[in-house]
Amino acid sequence: MTLLPKDRPVPVPVSPSFLWGAATSPHQVEGNNTASDLWALENAPGSPLPDRSGDACDSYHRWREDLDLVCDLGLNAYRFGIEWARVEPVPGHLSRAALAHYRRMIEGCLERGLTPVVTLHHFTSPAWFRHGGGWTGPDGIQRFTDYVRAVRPILDGVPWVCTINEPNMLAMVAARLRHDAPDLVAGALPPPDQGLADALVAAHHAARAELADLDGTASGWTVANQTFQALPGAEAVTEEWAWSRENQFLDAARADDFIGVQAYTRVVIGPDGPVPTDPAARRTQTGWEFYPEALEYAVRHTAGRIPVPILVTENGIATADDGERREYTQRALAGLGRAVADGVDVRGYLHWSLLDNYEWGSWAHTFGLVAVDRQTFRRTVKPSAHWYSDVARSSRLPDDR
Ligand code: BGC
C-alpha cells in the first residue's frame, strides 16, 4: 500500500452538498432497549459483558437536544438508527408509538436543516429474532424484510438509508462466538460463517428491493473497512484474508446507490496471517493501533473495488485525550482530502461518534465529540467538536500539518 506524498493542493474544497455530520446507533445511545438480544445478553447472570447499556445516554428522550448540538456545531447531517426491537418487540406486533417516535426524529432533522442518514439495523435485533434462529433461521430474511416494509412509510424525505451496519463485523463476531474461536491478533477476527454472510447479503438485497420505489432515497449498507495491508510477499494471503472479511461485502454493494465506509485502524498481514502490532506503537483506548491513515486507505480501496459513491458513515477514535481526537481526525480528513483530490467520489463524512456512548459492553471507551454525564445525562461539547465545526464550516478537507 502506498499513500500518496503530501503534494496535493490543501486544504481540499468539497461541494456545498457534502455531508458533514456525526453518527450514533440506537442501542448505544437510547437506553433501555429491553426487547433486544443484546439487552438480554448484558443482563443475563454471568454475562461476559463488563458493563450494561442501562439508560445509555437517554437519547430516546433527549434526541432533540442531540439534534440541536449537531446543528449548533454547524454540521449538516446526523446519522442515527431505527431500533427493530422497539418497532417490533413481539413478532408481528408493530409499535405505532415507536414508529411515530422515529418519524418525529426524521422530521426533527429536516426542520433543523439536517440531512438524516438512517440505519435500519445496527448490530442489535429483537431477542425473539435471535431465539428463532436469526438471519439463517427458517424465516430470518423474511422477518427482516417485513420489518423494513413496516418502516418504509416513515422514511419519506430521508435521502440516505443504510440497511445493515457492518454485516462483515456481525458475521465475524458471530463466528467467533459460535465456534469459540481463539482471539487472533488484536483487530483481526476469524472469517465469517459463509452461510451467515450469504444470508446478510440476501437480507440486504431484499431490503433494497423494498425501498426501491421511495423517491429521493438512496440505499446501501455500511462495511467495516479493516485496511488489510500486505507485507512484501504476502499479497495472495492478504487477498484471501480480505475477501472473506471485507471484499465480498463490498462486491455485494456493486449495484447499490452508495456504500458506507467505516474505518478506524489497520491490520498488517504477513505470509502467516496478521502480524502483531509493534508493542511500541501508539494505541487507542480500544487497543487498536493509532492509524488515522486508515480512512484514506479505506476509501481508495473501496473506490478501486466498486464503482459506487462513497459516504464515510463512521470514523473516529476512542481516547480520553481530546487533543488526540483532534489530531486523529485532522490526519484522517487530510487523507480523505488526498483521495478526493485524486477523484474518489466521496459524498460526506460522519464522525463516530456524536456522544460518548455505550461501546458494546463497555463505558470505558470514549469516542464522542460530546461528553455525557452518566448520572445527569448532561452533554458537554469537547474542544475537538469545535475544531471539527470550524472545518465543516470552511467546506474544506484540512491539511494535516
Ligand atoms: C460500529 C460502532 C462502534 C464503532 C467503534 C463500528 O464497528 O458500527 O457501533 O461503536 O465501530 O467500535
How confident is the chain (401 residues) per 10-residue block, as mean pLDDT?
52 95 98 98 94 98 99 98 98 98 98 98 98 97 98 98 98 77 61 94 98 97 97 97 97 98 97 94 97 98 98 98 98 97 98 98 98 98 98 94 76
Residues with Cβ < 8 Å from 122, sequence gap 6 or more?
25, 26, 27, 28, 81, 165
Test site for ligand 1: of 122, 223, 352, most ligand atoms within 8 A of the Cβ: 352
CATH number of the domain within which 208 lies: 3.20.20.80
Q: Which pLDDT score, from 0 to 100, does residue 177 have?
A: 72
Q: What's the gap in Å between 173 CA and the centre of ligand 1?
A: 13
In a domain, 301, yes or no: no
In a domain, 190, yes or no: yes
273: left (phi over 0), alpha (psi -120 to 50) or beta: left
φ, ψ at 222 (rounded to 5°): -115, 135
Please indicate whether residue 169, judged by its CB atom, sits closer than 6 Å to ligand 1.
yes
In a domain, 104, yes or no: yes
Q: Residue 197: which H helix or E strand, with range?
A: helix 194-211
Tally of structural domains, the chain: 1
In a domain, 308, yes or no: no
Please indicate whether residue 25, judged by its CB atom, sits closer than 6 Å to ligand 1.
yes
Q: Which pLDDT score, from 0 to 100, does residue 321 have?
A: 98
φ, ψ at 96 (rounded to 5°): -65, -35
Question: What number does the ligand 1 atom closest to the CA of 353 have?
Answer: 10
Distance CA 24, CA 30 (A): 9
Please indicate whether residue 166, judged by its CB atom, sits closer than 6 Å to ligand 1.
yes
Supply the pTM of this predicted model.
Answer: 0.96
Structural domain range at position 66: 13-222+314-392
In a domain, 178, yes or no: yes
In a domain, 284, yes or no: no
**Contact assessment for residue 250 and residue 299, using Cβ atoms and an 8 Å cutoff:** no
Q: Which of 88, 166, 246, 327 is catalytic?
A: 166
Question: What number does the ligand 1 atom closest to the CA of 262 have?
Answer: 6
Please indicate whether residue 355, judged by its CB atom, sits closer than 6 Å to ligand 1.
no
Please indicate whether residue 359, judged by its CB atom, sits closer than 6 Å to ligand 1.
yes
Q: Whose CA is nearest to atom 5 of ligand 1?
A: 359
Q: Which pLDDT score, from 0 to 100, does residue 134 have?
A: 97
φ, ψ at 176 (rounded to 5°): -65, -45
Q: Which pLDDT score, from 0 to 100, does residue 182 have?
A: 52
- Model pLDDT for residues 345-368, shown as the tens digit of each residue: 999 999 999 999 999 999 999 999
Q: Which pLDDT score, from 0 to 100, does residue 175 have?
A: 79
Please provide the DSSP assignment of 305-318 as one string: H--S-EEEEEE---
Question: What number does the ligand 1 atom closest to the CA of 367 have?
Answer: 5
In a domain, 108, yes or no: yes
DSSP 3-state of 393:
helix
Number of Cβ within 10 Å of residue 283's Cβ equals 16
Residues with Cβ < 8 Å from 133, sequence gap 6 or more?
140
In a domain, 397, yes or no: no
Q: What's the gap in Å between 298 CA and the centre of ligand 1?
A: 15
